[in-house]
A and B are shown apart, each in its own frame.
Chain A
């Protein structure tokens, strides 16, 4: 039976078919749906961990216990998980262990464009790269076979266009696997220096064996056609090459680390011009050059930035492009914005008004950096807001601390904000931290987290209260405000930034998109009362328009939150059905 499946859904199907029993991940676009979909199979235990490191460690533990285990993360999540994974490369596995890392060339929803293939090389782990959903599914089984045959964790690398594209998948039955009994083996599993020295020898032997495997595996294949040009490529780039040059010879790498050097050298011999097509860094190209294989074009043609496409490949190689006509006038951009009724809007309106230095974090509230709020000074990585606010205020002192706040969401706080709070308390910091608790992990599409009181399967669990945590680690000033009440929020922030000690304000209101959140009917504007002062425009609400010197409301998207009403000094906003 064939089914149209999202790449991520197909990875989950692959996990089911390969007999995987344990999945632990932290959400991150474009990897999130793998874990959500895996959770739908009764045979797989799946959970949201508070961060990628914890998830990876849980999966290593499950592997030690003898089951096929898994964790998924976005590319920057691998940075967080790198510590256990680099050493798991030395200890190896018991049950097979596969990690999916989803890169985001073009940065559709990420803060950088790092290329995860470097991690495979640095950690000495095998890496597979599927091109479509069928391969997403099939490569999971292949990855587990490599993992168990070669006693190693294996990385499956996807990218946005593989993870979030749908294509057909042939479904197979599950290969149920017996628990592989755990046998105590400290020489293997205790990564202390004396053992690790010996394990490193094993790692290098393994890489040698994997290099031999790469020369024979069906994961790599050549498709010989017109030999005037030959492409070496992998992943989504393979599809673009086939689209742009269907007649050309192609060497498709399914195993991108280690690479089949002999086969690639043979391929290079057979073609007149060897072109390497890869997004982001020249990982394949550099390796070919390093082992002395002639490369006639690669990063010098395609560059290091963003995504490729069939047209970009055609264009760079001088092939004809389809003709088209662009719209003659400039088209205004449409950046993402906070939703109507978003609880973050009230807070950022206050922060914008107070002109504070705001050290931000990763989540929907990153949107507070956009016009017209323009209320964020920095965004670095998950959890960085608190650490940065501590360093910033330590250096600049009390006056600066009175004008500075860290802003971090509930899920991000659990991910890596907690240690920042501990540092703040321990090192006698003076920063003010605002935890934006909207009762869900928002940006990645509503995942539960340790503060929500629900598991991935929506089963009740202990809800970790951020205020209890902060008090328990020694923050003396902890309070809770509702950002819908902008006056109270402003008063609380003014008081806490004045305090010369760590303080935490929990800014609490559920995400407007949560199903249980009830909305009011749309507001309307009384044109006689509207003076055209534009105060309401400062909140950056997509439901408010301004034309002919009057505000008006788009009733199709207004959820009646009433923030605009709080901004208006003339009482021009009315609660009534407009149609």
Chain B
């Protein structure tokens, strides 16, 4: 099988690392060769963060380059605009519609761009969801990551039970029910396309 590439992008502190851990776990269960690449340190702290996930029979490079991503899972809409060039032709962007202002916008140096979802939809296949609202509906704003994983799960050809088992193994026991609700709400959105 050819290597498939997924990027998880967002803002430091949004829980992108848990999402990549979950996804890695799922792919491992499916018997794939898997590589994940993340950057720690200075790039967290509210900065733009990106994790690369690649899987297939044999994966070489741990990173995804421009025009190579089959899926981009974005936790923040401005980050979707930043990373859209990494999507391959025919790839799909799954994006949270949440806005987190970066410091240049907060300080008034530049405005937060408008109508990003519309503009991105003209460029590529886009699934846009209000993951924050769904996470709150599930019980916590922190569950945005699992909502988005839920959306992705519907678009990928892997049985739901595998995802649920990975959630079971990855999230702390006391947040398990909350995360299962978040996953189900996300998965329902993925079906809407």
A519 CB to nearest B CB, Å? 14
Digit string of B40-78 for contact with A (CB within 8 Å is 1, else 0)? 111111111000000000011111011110000000001
The 5 closest A-B pairs by CB, nearest first: A322-B67, A109-B41, A324-B67, A336-B47, A29-B41
Known contacts A554-B100, A557-B13; is-contact A108 B88 (Cβ 8 Å)? no
Range of interface residues on A (Cβ < 8 Å)? 35 or more
Contacts of A109 in B (CB 8 A): 39-43
Digit string of A355-398 for contact with B (CB within 8 Å is 1, else 0)? 00000000010010011100000000000000000000000000
Contacts of B66 in A (CB 8 A): 311, 321-322, 324
Write 18 A-B pairs (CB below 8 A) sorted by A numbering: A4-B28, A4-B34, A4-B36, A160-B39, A164-B38, A167-B34, A236-B62, A311-B68, A324-B86, A324-B88, A327-B81, A331-B113, A332-B102, A336-B47, A443-B41, A444-B41, A537-B107, A556-B141
Contacts of B34 in A (CB 8 A): 4, 166-168
Is the CB–CB distance between B38 and A311 below 8 Å?
no
Is the CB–CB distance between B62 and A165 below 8 Å?
yes
Is the CB–CB distance between B44 and A336 below 8 Å?
yes
Range of interface residues on B (Cβ < 8 Å)? 35 or more
Bound complex: CA A30 to CA B33 (Å): 24
Q: How many residue pairs bridge A and B at CB < 8 Å?
A: 188
Contacts of B100 in A (CB 8 A): 542, 554, 557
- The residue among B39, B43, B44, B123 with the most chain A CB atoms within 10 A of its own CB is B39
User: Cβ of A54 < 8 Å from any Cβ of B?
Assistant: no
User: Cβ of B134 < 8 Å from any Cβ of A?
Assistant: no
Contacts of B78 in A (CB 8 A): 331-332, 334
Closest residue of chain B to A364 (Cβ to Cβ) is B45
B90 CB to nearest A CB, Å? 10
User: Cβ of A53 < 8 Å from any Cβ of B?
Assistant: no
Bound complex: CA A321 to CA B12 (Å): 30
Known: A309-B61, A327-B81, A329-B119. 14 other contacts (CB 8 A): A30-B40, A109-B40, A165-B62, A166-B37, A167-B59, A309-B65, A323-B89, A332-B104, A333-B48, A334-B48, A534-B108, A540-B103, A542-B103, A542-B106
Contacts of B33 in A (CB 8 A): 167-168
Is the CB–CB distance between B40 and A164 below 8 Å?
yes
Is the CB–CB distance between A336 and B46 below 8 Å?
yes
Closest residue of chain A to B36 (Cβ to Cβ) is A166
Bound complex: CA A165 to CA B42 (Å): 17
Contacts of A567 in B (CB 8 A): none
Of the candidates B37, B41, B86, the one whose C-beta lies within 8 Å of that of A161 is B37
Contacts of B113 in A (CB 8 A): 329, 331-332
User: Cβ of B191 < 8 Å from any Cβ of A?
Assistant: no
A residues with a Cβ closer than 8 A to B are: 4, 29-30, 32, 108-109, 132, 160-161, 164-168, 236, 239-240, 242-243, 246, 309-312, 321-339, 364, 367, 370-372, 443-445, 534, 537, 540-542, 544-546, 554, 556-557
B22 CB to nearest A CB, Å? 12
User: Cβ of B105 < 8 Å from any Cβ of A?
Assistant: yes
Bound complex: CA A324 to CA B48 (Å): 21
Bound complex: CA A3 to CA B157 (Å): 23
A471 CB to nearest B CB, Å? 34
User: Cβ of B171 < 8 Å from any Cβ of A?
Assistant: no
